[in-house]
Structure 1
């Protein structure tokens, strides 16, 4: 009974298969042949755009409401109470309820660093924030299932904690730009918000984030529709399937120059999985896009020096590749 209920939640609530069936029936009614590439592409595009938009708005609202309890000043004070690996773990967990992309998490990273928090702790936050969030957990469940989603989040947190710990032990504080270290930090008292204030804040975050993210959703779904209906399955299997032992490395390197968030990469991942790409290879691509996007690296370069930037990129890249091969090895158990 429990398994049936969970399957219903995954298929009909998170996966919204009813929506896909309804769109297919509607397109057929107006003359589309759903067995053609064009019909399949239009159905994929409409279904994924609507599904992701609904999940996006609901998730942002819920996460922003939670986030209203952790403004930057309060987060800094909480992190300041912990030391050692416990602080890294807490920073990584805090990253799960903060901004959805690497570019928006960098200002918080700079603020935490200028406030005097240990460098390794701030990097655990920086790695975790775009790579792992509550939104990614729900969206991954809608496509890959609960096992993959939970293991993905756990592994992402492990990468964030290990990465921050390594950076902490390398004592690279001198490789933070001087203007960050010398920046004055204003200690603003935490203001308790009312229920209505938190609801209003969550609504505003939905509108702002939707405006910023929606173009990437359209691009991602468009690419997904093209992959799903126009690119031969044999091509995907040859490049990203089990036939290519370097597929994980290739997917990671391809993902780095791109800029998107979890909402933009999900439809591409969905299409690649349907075409025979390996699970770990797909997840490596997603992690690379969300964590090591070129715009975020350019922004981060303004705050830290080349050596520290290189260490950060190396740790993330190696961690992502290891995760890819791990998921490929365990895919039979997870899917």
Structure 2
């Protein structure tokens, strides 16, 4: 999917800057350019999607949706699967987590994403597939999703919302009041 980006990083580092491909510096710079641009592109799309979600799914609707028990269970599982398929490390999962909390999504659902996102990722899946085969890879991926789902469900049962930072509570209150006044 990002082959074009790897070609760009190769061209930039090895041709434009004329850094040797066999050197440690060349390899490190190539990796830095490639990964930095890939993460920026992916974050752009995730932030864009979260902006759409925040604009079209107001707090009251989101909270009402997740107050139903079936929707909450499905939300925890969906969030865990979403965490597994997003190609992010924990460094970029935390801003998404904060966006979910600010969007009014219950903490159990957001924790489900936060647990699974760094646990099941494309690099680990590719390594498992190459080293252990499809069975072990499926066991790894499904176990990670189940762990994230159970972890999110358990953390959701602890009612942690009162422990949120004051600035998050204030933001949620302001956002929900703004949305309610527009409707």
TM-score grouping bracket, smaller chain normalisation: 0.5 to 0.7
Aligned to 2:156: 168
Residue 158 (structure 1) shift: 0.6
Question: How many residue pairs were aligned?
Answer: 130
TM-score normalised by the chain length of structure 1 = 0.33
- Which residue of structure 2 lines up, in the alignment, with residue 131 of structure 1? 119
What is the CA–CA distance in structure 1 between the aligned matches of 2:52 and 2:121, rounded to whole Å?
19
CA contact (8 A) 1:122 1:164 kept: yes
> Cα offset for 1:173?
1.0
CA distance, structure 2, for counterparts of residue 146 and residue 89 of structure 1: 22
**1:73 corresponds to:** 51
Q: Tell me the distance in 2 between the aligned counterparts of 1:69 and 1:114.
A: 13
TM-score normalised by structure 2 residue count: 0.58
Closer, same or farther: CA 101–146 of 1 in aligned 2, 3 Å: same
Q: How far apart, CA to CA, are the structure 2 residues paired with 1:159 and 1:169? A: 15
The question of whether the paired residues in 1 share the 8 Å contact of 2:80 and 2:116 is answered with yes
Aligned-pair CA distance for 1:84: 1.6
The corresponding residue for 1:104 is: 92
Listed one character per residue, the Cα deviations across residues 211-260 of structure 1 (whole Å, up to 9, x for unaligned) are xxxxxxxxxxxxxxxxxxxxxxxxxxxxxxxxxxxxxxxxxxxxxxxxxx
Deviation, structure 1 residue 74: 4.3
User: Given that residues 87 and 122 in structure 2 are in contact (C-alpha distance below 8 angstroms), is that contact kept between their aligned partners in structure 1?
Assistant: no
What is the aligned partner in structure 1 of residue 137 from structure 2? 149
Superimposed CA distance per residue, residues 64-84 of structure 1 (whole angstroms, 9 cap, x where no aligned partner): 49x66972234564x945522
Moved over 4 A (4+): 67-70, 74-77, 184-187
Cα distance change, pair 75–96 in 1 and its aligned pair in 2 (3 A): farther
Q: Paired residue for 1:182, among 152, 163, 170?
A: 170
Displacement of 1:139 in angstroms is 2.9
Unaligned runs of 5+ in 2: 1-23, 179-183
Query: Which whole-Å CA distance do the structure 1 matches of 2:96 and 2:80 have between them?
Result: 13
The answer (yes or no) to whether the contact 1:99–1:105 under 8 Å persists in 2 is: no
Tell me by how many angstroms 1:138 deviates.
2.3
Which residue of 2 is the match for residue 118 of structure 1? Answer: 106
CA–CA distance in structure 2, aligned partners of residues 95 and 75 of structure 1: 17
SS in 2 for 1:116: coil
Residues 132 and 74 (structure 1 numbering): CA distance in 2 closer, same or farther, change over 3 Å? Answer: farther
Q: Deviations over 1:138-169 (max 9, x none)?
A: 23212222111111111011111111111111
CA distance in 1, matches of 2:47, 2:121: 16
